[in-house]
Structure 1
Amino acid sequence: MTGWHAPDDLVTRYADGSLAETDAWSLEKHLERCGRCAARVSHAVRAGAAGPALAEVRDAVLATVPEAAQSTTTTPARTTPATAAGPARTTPATAAADQVRTAAAAVPVPDLAPAVAPRPSRAFGGRLARILWAAGPAVRGTWAGAVLLVALGAVALAYGGGWAGARPLLLALAPVVPVAGVALSYGRHADPLHEIAASAPSGGLRLLLTRTAAVLAVSAPSLTVAGLLLPSSGPQLPAGPATAGWLLPGLALTLASLVLSGYLGCRTATAVVGGGWLLAVAAPLLVSTGTGLTAGLTEQLSLYFTGASSQGGWAAATVLCALLLAARRTAYDRLETM
């Protein structure tokens, strides 16, 4: 349970049935683990239109119970088990119980579902199971296979095809692979229950960061290992960047896409960031003359990835994006839920 509690207007609208369905789902999820808010909701329901009906049911049951108790004291209850000779006989105790059930059933009871606080439930499998469930769309489907295809394809081109440009091409695509993974793992198109999950207390930015962490956990090791397996630049090519040089730029671009998602939506933001990176890599190659494609790409990536100034700039961008993400965290509570 977090320190968040449902505001009074949310409790009131939930009690009178005017709260939107997605918001009601979110509140019910919170009530499973917050006894304080559950008690407030129960009190609001009793004080509302359903209060008289609840009081009537209570009075009817309380009026019937003493009569049933008196009849049981007058005639001691005993249980006659069923035998082969015939069925069990009805005793005064069972008759009293029938009277209580009949009196309660005779009172018309409206839909009182909001008045009953959900019982606390224990999550199956604990915290690890909840994390895996939340990260599910980020690691299933075709995206994880596409990451492995990119990594294995680069290795096949380098050793099977003898192409020297496999390594710089992999390093050029690596920073946008996590960005694309975030776009494919968050939103209505990726999760059939996205509106429900994103509206829950654990949704919003927390859910988006969980999916992003799952994307990075799959893409970063796969592409880094593939880069280590690829041969280094030959003597005829300029020295390329280090294999892990793309990790900090990839993290900065991923966080930048998350920040931009608060303004444009997840898919549009990732398209802008990913397209901007590919344009920044490809544009100098299109206007340059006198150098080959592989040599030009290697030189361009060395400019972006190599040196303390380049990595320091990516580190500063990462910190800035993280601060902006924290400052605008409430903007993600309804991201792509409407």
Structure 2
Amino acid sequence: MTYTTTDGSNGDGTGGRTGGAGDGRRWHVPGDDLRAYARGELAAPRLWSADTHLAACAHCRGVLADVGDPVALDAGWARLDAELDVPRPGLLESLLLRCGVADHTARLLAATPTLRRSWLGAVAAVLVLTLAVTAGYAAGGPPTFFLALAPLLPLAGVALSYGPALDPTYEVAVVAPMHGFRLLMTRTVAVLAAGLGLNGLATLALPGYGLRALGWLLPALALTATGLALTARLGPVLAPSLVGGGWIALLMTAEASRADADDPLAPFTAVGQGVSALVAVLAAGLLVLLRDRFDAGRAHAA
């Protein structure tokens, strides 16, 4: 950017309008730039440089007042303030915006705690350790440890994505321009996509077990749907805690009752998978019936 020095020449030596002597500054914004600034036509980066200089130079502000239209100047300042105040979207938010997601929805999804690298990294580490333990079993045995743990990860992720006690951006979510149930479902789908995706990648690391390694999928959907349905009545902490505790108790009971250590646990048999699918459907229906309760909770929090 070319500025006018107090000795009457431009900063590049081409000459130009002199700045006011005695103001202690060696250069000023050229008159052409000031007139363009006043008309709202000065583009970045000249706009940013001129704005920074005007904030500290009384002489240039006086010249600007002489050449500019007050209404246009006010509009220019307002436009500049708006540009400076707009948050810069991160990588995930930018990707969502490119995919056509509304800006406020993308902002809420990007702020979801369980979509952060720390949470995803922790889940990946847990799955790697689980796979290591599972691989240490006899080759012909069922992947019981992996199947028992995998359904709990999506449940925990959804629980951490919604609620004043767990979500650091809950106040933003409360005033978001969307139905409370829609917000819950938006974040749930995003978290499930991430959680189930990581579980799916882990399943690919167990090719020797075939379809048995996918036995976690229906229980995961059943636990998540049940936890969400109970959240409407019990809250985002107690509900998933009870569901997770119930799942562990069920596995312990199934372990104690099976006759052969090589037999699959009851939840991972054909009958158990059918029960999981039924529970998932019933819990989803109950969740829809109780959807208005999530708005009541947001109104109370606000």
- Measured against the shorter chain, the TM-score band is 0.5 to 0.7
Distance 1:242 1:166 in 2: 8
Residue identity matched to 2:230 = L
Matched residue, 1:316: 278
After superposition, the Cα gap between the structure-2 partners of 1:143 and 1:281, relative to the gap in structure 1 and judged at 3 Å, is same
Please give the TM-score of this superposition, normalised by the length of structure 1: 0.53
SS of 1:266's equivalent?
Answer: coil
CA contact (8 A) 1:198 1:207 kept: no
Q: Paired residue for 1:335?
A: 297
In structure 2, what is the Cα distance between the partners aligned to 1:166 and 1:140? 32
CA contact (8 A) 1:167 1:227 kept: no
Q: Which is worse superposed, 250-259 or 180-189?
A: 180-189
Alpha-carbon distance between aligned partners in 2 of 1:147 and 1:166, rounded to the nearest angstrom: 22
| Counterpart contact for 1:178–1:250, Cα < 8 Å | yes
Partner of 2:148: 172
- 1:266-323 CA-partner distances (Å, limit 9, x unpaired): 11100000110011102343x45986xxx36x521xx21232x433322222221122
CA gap 1:170/1:212 in 2 versus in 1, 3 angstroms: same
Contact kept? 1:134, 1:210, Cα under 8 Å = no
* Kept after mapping to 2: 8 A contact 1:151/1:223: yes
Q: Does 1:246 align with 2:211?
A: no
Deviations along 1:97-133, one digit per CA (max 9) or x if unpaired, are: 99xxxxxxxxxxxxxxxxxxxxxxxx99452554432
CA deviation profile, 1:21-67 (whole Å, cap 9, x unmatched): xxxxxxxxxxxxxxxxxxxxxxxxxxxxxxxxxxxxxxxxxxxxxxx
TM-score by length of 2: 0.58
Cross-structure match for 1:305: 268
How far off its partner does 1:196 sit?
3.5
Matched positions, count: 207
Match of 2:131 in 1: 155
2:98 is the counterpart of 1:133: no
1:230 is the counterpart of 2:187: no
Q: Which amino acid aligns with 2:162?
A: Y
Q: Which runs of 5+ in 1 are unaligned?
A: 1-86, 99-122, 234-239
Shift in Å, 1:330: 0.7
Aligned partner of 1:264 among 207, 226, 234: 234
SS of equivalent residue, structure 2 residue 297: coil
User: Quick one: which amino acid aligns to residue 262 of structure 1?
Assistant: A
Deviation at 1:224, TM superposition (A): 2.4
**Correspondence for 1:45:** none
Q: Percent identity?
A: 39
Q: Quick one: structure 1 residues 289 and 323, their matched pair in 2 at CA, closer, same or farther if it must change by over 3 Å?
A: closer
Partner deviation per Cα, 1:77-98 (whole Å, 9 max, x = no partner): xxxxxxxxxx89x9xxx9xx99
Structure 1 residue 147, shift from structure 2 partner: 1.5
CA distance in 1, matches of 2:129, 2:121: 12
Task: Note closer, same or farther for the CA distance 1:332–1:263 as it changes in structure 2 (3 Å cut).
Answer: same
Distance in 2, Cα, partners of 1:202 & 1:131: 9
Q: CA deviation at 1:333?
A: 0.8
Q: Tell me which moved more, 174-183 or 131-140.
A: 131-140
> Which position in structure 2 is the counterpart of 1:278?
248
Matched AA of 1:146:
A
Counterpart of 1:281 in 2: which secondary structure? helix
What SS does the corresponding residue of 1:127 show, helix, strand or coil?
A: coil
State the secondary structure of the residue aligned to 2:163. Answer: coil
Structure of greater Rg? 1
- Name the CA distance, whole Å, in 2 between partners of 1:128 and 1:227: 33
TM-superposed CA distance for 1:226, in Å, is 1.4
Cα 1:135–1:329 shift into 2, 3 Å: same
Distance 1:305 1:166 in 2: 10
Secondary structure at the residue paired with 2:144?
A: helix
- Give the drift of 1:166: 8.7
Name the CA distance, whole Å, in 2 between partners of 1:129 and 1:244. 35
Larger relative contact order (Cα-Cα within 8 Å, sequence gap ≥ 6) = 1
Q: 1:206–1:290: structure 2 CA closer, same or farther, 3 Å change rule?
A: closer
Supply the RMSD in Å over aligned alpha carbons: 3.4
CA, structure 1 residues 149+335, in 2 after alignment: closer, same or farther (shift >3 Å)? Answer: farther
Flag structure 2 segments of 5+ consecutive residues without an equivalent. 1-62, 72-92
Alpha carbons 1:241, 1:305 under 8 Å: kept: no
Distance 1:170 1:132, change over 3 A: farther
The equivalent residue for 2:28 is none
**8 A contact 1:198–1:334 mirrored in 2:** no
